[in-house]
């Protein structure tokens, strides 16, 4: 349980620490304050994971979900920082906006979950596939190195380390069994880190500089401030986060063979939003379910929510012990990238498995999948596609998961719910590009 829980932490650690590092740098925090903010986000991620996995009352999906800081909030939070004249007020303004957005999201959860009937397999399969495809570029970036401006970014050394890690994970999955097979990713990360030492890529500096004990003092950066523009911006992020969390819960429900119903989604959204509302108390940001851990569940087939709760305990401990948190930071980014290919690819594969049951012998469903995936891939292949749109709109448009999900839901409503399809639309087809029976084919 301990090693499997730690494997979940290793899979999502980089995603948790990235937002506080980016926002903290924009605010101009010192190294000590930046470490404090990062530890606070780890601590609140652990608390949010407890809410989601263990649950209390009608709060928590009670699925093997890891919760942490959502990356969707990075752009609007940096925009808030840029718009704040006194940078010392920037974090309090962000915290106030997150609190309000979290409370409103909590109240809206029972209404938001009613949309589950618009998420049949043709929609969920498309969204799950997009989740995996959207995450794969993250692993490719990790494989190249931690800093795009560095001279060794994308070097043969970094890519080789990523490739070695990937091969180790694959070999462990192929030639081992039982417990060793289940923790193949963790073992791959450890082996990759050790192999990287002679290449000078492994940095033990974070361990040497970290303190042994530290607690995220409530409102360390000041009491929350409430500004309308910031609140509206974070409310948009909350809608995006709830949409992605709904898709994640549906994805994980398929993987663990416990389909998420309306009640489960409502409870899961309550955990997300309550965790977000409480997070600023301990200097954390908006929380959401982490999609990359879905890949770990899909690959290891360890479905116990208590394993993930154990991982949440590790997150809390790392938030209380910066030195413990720094141990995960030692893993080189290329090594994470190699393991990420397996994790995120497993998510996409799960989506394809769901689409196989989605009735793709129907013209309508083929069109839904085709257009939705195309729309969802736009931000991945062309990041500046929506550059002319307002910043608030880009919060949604720049997320392929969100745009693909919206497109799939709308198209499914139009083709499968709005009125009755004509007989020609309901005809079965073997392949969308095949000729109809009335067309003579000369051979």
pLDDT of the residue at 434: 42
429 — pLDDT class (breaks 50, 70, 90): very low
Give how far the C-alpha of residue 240 lies from the chain's centroid of Cα atoms, to the nearest Å: 12
Please give the torsion angle defined by the CA atoms of residues 385, 287, 285 and 108, in that order, rounded to the nearest 10 degrees: 90
Kindly state the average pLDDT of the residues 424-431: 44
Tell me which residue of 411, 101, 120, 335 sits closest to 241, measured CA to CA: 101
Residue 148's pLDDT band (cuts 50, 70, 90): confident
Residue 336 has pLDDT above 80, yes or no: yes
What tokens does 236 get? 């948009």
DSSP letters, 336-359, are HHHHHHHHHHHHHHHHHHHHTTS-
Q: CA 12, CA 8: separation in Å to the nearest integer?
A: 6
Q: Of 194 and 203, which is predicted with more confidence?
A: 194
Per-residue pLDDT reduced to its tens digit, 58-70: 888 888 888 888 8
Residue 277: pLDDT band by 50, 70, 90 thresholds?
very high
User: For residue 207, with 0-12 CB atoms within 10 Å meaning exposed, 13-18 middle and 19 or more buried, which class applies?
Assistant: middle
Q: Which residue has the tokens 């303190």?
A: 211
Q: Residues for the chain: how many in total?
A: 443
Of 49 and 294, which is predicted with more confidence?
49
Nearest to 279 by CA among 68, 30, 8: 68
Furthest CA-CA distance within the chain: 78
pLDDT at 199 over 90: no
The H or E element containing residue 414 is: helix 400-416
End-to-end CA distance of the chain: 61
Q: How distant is the alpha carbon of residue 329 from its chain centre? A: 19
If you average pLDDT over every residue of the chain, what do you get?
A: 80
- Give the mean model confidence (pLDDT) for residues 127-151: 83
Residue 123: pLDDT above 90? no
Kindly state the helix (H) or strand (E) to which residue 308 belongs, with its residue range: helix 305-320
Average pLDDT over residues 174-198: 82
Contact call for residues 407 and 247 (beta carbons, < 8 A): no
CB 209 within 8 A of CB 327: no
pLDDT above 70 for 326: no
Alpha carbons 90 and 33: distance in angstroms, whole number: 14
Instruction: Kindly tell me if the per-residue pLDDT of 428 is higher than 50.
Output: no
Provide the CB-side half-sphere exposure for 6 (13 A, CA).
16
Q: Three-state DSSP class for 220? A: coil
Q: Is pLDDT at 42 greater than 80 in this prediction?
A: yes
Residue 430: per-residue pLDDT: 39
Check if the beta carbon of residue 64 is closer than 8 Å to that of residue 295.
no
pLDDT given at position 396: 66
Residue 235 has pLDDT above 90, yes or no: no
Q: What is the pLDDT of residue 433?
A: 40
Helix H or strand E segment including 67: strand 67-69
Contact between 396 and 407 under an 8 Å Cβ cutoff? The reply is no
Closest CA to 191 of 207, 179, 205, 180: 180
Q: With beta carbons less than 8 A apart as the criterion, state whether 153 and 293 touch.
A: no
Checking if the pLDDT of 195 tops 90, the result is yes
Question: Is residue 202 helix, strand or coil?
Answer: coil
pLDDT band at residue 182 using 50, 70 and 90 as cut-offs: low
Cβ proximity of 347 and 294 under 8 Å: yes
pLDDT (mean) for 209-238: 81
Residue 431 has a pLDDT of 42
- pLDDT, average across residues 327-341: 81
Model pLDDT for residues 363-405, shown as the tens digit of each residue: 888 999 999 999 989 988 888 898 888 866 776 677 777 788 8
The predicted model scores a pTM of 0.68
Q: Is 268 within 8 Å of 289 (Cβ atoms)?
A: yes
């Amino acid at each position: 349980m301990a090693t499997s829980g730690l494997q979940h932490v290793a899979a999502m650690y980089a995603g948790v620490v990235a937002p506080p590092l980016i926002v903290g740098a924009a605010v101009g925090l010192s190294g000590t304050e930046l470490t404090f903010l990062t530890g606070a986000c780890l601590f609140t991620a652990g608390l949010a994971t407890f809410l989601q996995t263990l649950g209390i009352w009608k709060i928590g999906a009670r699925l093997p979900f890891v919760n942490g800081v959502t990356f969707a909030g990075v752009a609007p939070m940096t925009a808030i920082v840029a718009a704040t004249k006194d940078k010392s007020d920037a974090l309090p303004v962000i915290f106030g906006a997150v609190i309000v957005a979290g409370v409103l999201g909590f109240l809206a959860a029972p209404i938001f979950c009613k949309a589950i009937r618009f998420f049949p397999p043709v929609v969920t399969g498309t969204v799950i596939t997009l989740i995996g495809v959207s995450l794969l570029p993250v692993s490719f970036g990790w494989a190249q190195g931690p800093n795009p401006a560095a001279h060794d970014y994308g070097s043969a050394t970094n890519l080789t380390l990523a490739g070695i890690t990937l091969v180790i994970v694959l070999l462990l999955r192929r030639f081992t069994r039982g417990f060793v097979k289940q923790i193949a990713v963790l073992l791959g990360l450890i082996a990759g880190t050790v192999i990287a030492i002679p290449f000078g890529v492994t940095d033990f500096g974070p361990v040497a500089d970290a303190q042994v004990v530290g607690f995220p003092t409530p409102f360390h950066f000041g009491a929350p401030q409430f500004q309308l523009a910031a609140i509206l911006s974070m409310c948009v992020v909350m809608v995006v986060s709830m949409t992605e969390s709904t898709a994640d819960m549906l994805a994980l429900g398929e993987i663990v063979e416990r389909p998420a119903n309306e009640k489960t989604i409502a409870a899961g959204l309550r955990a997300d939003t309550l965790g977000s509302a409480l997070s600023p108390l301990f200097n954390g940001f908006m929380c959401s379910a982490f999609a990359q851990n879905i890949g770990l569940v899909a690959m290891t087939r360890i479905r116990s929510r208590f394993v993930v709760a154990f991982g949440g305990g590790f997150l809390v401990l790392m938030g209380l012990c910066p030195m413990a948190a720094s141990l995960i930071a030692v893993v080189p980014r290329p090594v994470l990238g190699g393991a990420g290919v397996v994790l995120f690819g497993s998510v996409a594969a799960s989506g394809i498995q769901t689409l196989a049951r989605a009735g793709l012998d129907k013209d309508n469903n083929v069109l839904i999948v085709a257009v939705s995936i195309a729309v969802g891939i736009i931000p991945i292949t062309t990041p500046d596609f929506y550059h002319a749109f307002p910043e608030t709109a880009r919060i949604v448009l720049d997320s392929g998961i969100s745009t693909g999900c919206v497109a799939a839901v709308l198209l499914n409503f139009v083709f499968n719910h709005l009125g009755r399809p004509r007989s020609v639309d309901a005809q079965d087809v073997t392949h969308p590009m095949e000729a109809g029976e009335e067309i003579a084919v000369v051979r």
